């Protein structure tokens, strides 16, 4: 499908849609610093094939959506959280099935609590009940090896050297993998597409993590009343599996589907049969 761009209040949001327009809408919300490219085209086609109108989009500072200077985001976390509703309004979609991963899962939780009338079902992948300002008591900590990459990060590339930026992007993803084989060829293809499409990769790799968000959702998870599915990698090094268990426990009626061997990432092709079947069943309920 061809990319389309919504421009509202001077902000561009780039998105794509797959499948029949009359089918129920599934909105895919990516993680921090991720363009929509990480929701792979074939994954979107396969989900559309079960009778869903699949929409993916670029967050601000990713892909072809609006960008800010690196280190100087011109938006807030609340703006990022509002953007999915802007897209749904543009498409004249009253209620959608939300699928959020990592930061996108936090956005999806917030939307479901604040705007329950816009959500048919909720699916949370590789995310946590804990947000900024929350007490992490009872949740397992980040893997120490991954934590070391934050305290001693790799040198940034020459942002004007596309090949160097692609390699850097691949290496950023590598430590987030689980116990499944890291498919470098696949990750490099996604990274190449992302780097080619993104206005400013330095901003894309930085700015989402600089916006301040003091809104805490954990104490309000019990308010979620839409059908909720939690999918979580059993080998997630950033948000270990216990985070998914806690989400499923704290959201009334939520169902947990473990993704064996998966790390902190979009489900790789080896898991698509399970993930798409689970999403098809879950989104038929709303």
Catalytic residue numbers, as ranges: 102, 236, 264
Please work out, in degrees rounded to the nearest 5, the angle formed at the alpha carbon of residue 144 by the alpha carbons of 237 and 72: 75
**Residues 36, 170 contacting (CB under 8 angstroms):** no
The residues, ordered by sequence, that sit 6+ positions from 4 with a Cβ below 8 Å of its Cβ are: 14, 15, 16, 17
Distance CA 122, CA 141 (A): 25
For 167, the enclosing helix (H) or strand (E) is helix 162-173
User: Order of strands, edge to edge, in the sheet holding 25-29?
Assistant: 4-8, 11-18, 53-57, 25-29, 96-101, 119-125, 228-233, 255-259
Per the DSSP assignment, residues forming a β-bridge with 55 are 17, 27
Query: Helix 162-173 vs helix 184-197: angle between axes, to the nearest 10 degrees?
Result: 130
Using a 10 angstrom Cβ sphere, with 0-12 exposed, 13-18 middle and 19 or more buried, the burial of residue 166 is buried
Structural Rg of the chain based on CA atoms: 18
* DSSP conformation class of 38: G
How many residues are listed for the chain in this entry? 286
């Amino acid at each position: 499908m061809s990319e389309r761009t919504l421009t509202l209040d001077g902000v561009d949001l780039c998105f794509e849609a797959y499948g029949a327009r009359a089918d129920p809408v599934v909105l895919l919300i990516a993680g921090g610093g991720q363009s929509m490219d990480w929701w792979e085209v074939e994954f979107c086609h396969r989900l559309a094939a079960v009778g869903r109108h699949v929409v993916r989009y670029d967050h601000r500072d990713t892909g072809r959506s609006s960008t800010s200077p690196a280190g100087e985001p011109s938006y807030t976390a609340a703006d990022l959280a509002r953007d999915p509703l802007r897209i749904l309004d543009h498409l004249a979609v009253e209620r959608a099935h939300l699928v959020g991963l990592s930061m996108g899962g936090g956005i999806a939780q917030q939307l479901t609590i604040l705007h329950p009338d816009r959500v048919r079902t909720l699916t949370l992948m590789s995310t946590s009940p804990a947000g900024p300002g929350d007490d992490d008591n009872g949740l397992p900590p980040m893997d120490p090896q991954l934590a070391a990459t934050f305290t001693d990060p790799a040198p940034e590339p020459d942002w004007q050297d596309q090949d160097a930026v692609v390699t850097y992007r691949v290496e950023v993803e590598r430590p987030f993998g689980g116990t499944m084989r890291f498919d470098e060829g696949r990750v490099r293809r996604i990274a190449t597409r992302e780097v080619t499409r993104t206005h400013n990769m330095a901003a894309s790799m930085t700015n989402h993590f600089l916006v301040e968000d003091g809104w805490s959702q954990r104490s309000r998870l019990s308010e979620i009343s839409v059908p909720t599915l939690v999918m979580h990698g059993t080998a997630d090094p950033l948000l270990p599996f216990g985070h998914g268990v806690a989400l499923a426990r704290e959201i009334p009626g939520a169902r947990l589907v473990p993704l064996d061997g998966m790390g902190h990432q979009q489900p790789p092709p080896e898991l698509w049969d399970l993930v798409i079947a689970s999403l098809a069943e879950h989104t038929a309920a709303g």
